[in-house]
Amino acid sequence: MLTKEQIAKAVANLKDNKIIILPTDTIYGLSSIVNITNKIRINELKKADKNKELITLFSKYKQLKNVVKIDKEIKKFIKTHQNTTIILKTQNGTIALRRPKRKDLNKIINQVGLIYSTSVNTHGAAPLFSQFELKTFHKTVNLYFDREYNATPSRIFDWENKVWVR
């Protein structure tokens, strides 16, 4: 778990529109406040297509009120499939959502709102795990480290087509 000081610094950096590295339930993720500029910046860091969609993390369903409709069936799926990203249809296309279990991450999201999260790596490469690799990923990105992971990224489920993507 991140310390209170790490949480406060992460919140401050996110509110300053910075891209940071945060621990998630499975691996470390590049994170920022959700907006088009940050999506492009993250994709540039990863050397991915600038329009590539990113996973959006939320802590409370009310944060999604103006984004996507979440019914009881979707809430049940999210609750019973932990560490799973769900792709939902929106008015403008789709959104990939995940609700973290980590209390420290939820504290951050409660304070800043929706955040992006995507694996820390160059597009197409394996995610980075070690503290050294994460620290040296990019000089402009602050790392909030609690421990090394050796897990796999979250699973992804396409709700509309009822198919597992990953």
The pLDDT tens digits for 6-56 are: 999 999 999 999 999 999 998 999 999 999 999 999 999 999 999 999 999
Whether 105 has a pLDDT exceeding 90, the answer reads: yes
* Beta-carbon contacts of residue 131 (< 8 Å; ≥ 6 apart): 143, 145, 148
pLDDT of residue 3: 96
List b or e across 86-111, with b for residues whose CB sees 16 or more CB atoms inside 10 angstroms. bbbeeeeeebbbbbbebebbbbbbee
pLDDT band of 97, cuts 50, 70, 90: very high
* Paired strand residues for 57: 98, 115
Whether 151 has a pLDDT exceeding 80, the answer reads: no
Report pLDDT digits (tens) over 67-96. 999 999 999 999 999 899 999 999 989 999
pLDDT of residue 88: 98
The reported pTM is: 0.95
* More confident of the two residues 39 and 152: 39
Identify the CATH homologous superfamily for domain 4-164.
Answer: DHBP synthase (3.90.870.10)
Distance CA 54, CA 109 (A): 16
pLDDT band of 153, cuts 50, 70, 90: confident
Q: How many CB atoms lie within 10 A of CB 151?
A: 12
Pair of tokens at residue 59 = 């802590």
Backbone torsions φ then ψ of 117, nearest 5 degrees: -150, 130
Q: Do 146 and 74 contact (CB within 8 A), yes or no?
A: no
Domain limits, the chain: 4-164
Whether 115 has a pLDDT exceeding 80, the answer reads: yes
Q: Position 80: which residue type?
A: T
Report pLDDT digits (tens) over 118-144. 999 999 999 999 999 999 999 999 999
Q: Do 27 and 153 contact (CB within 8 A), yes or no?
A: yes
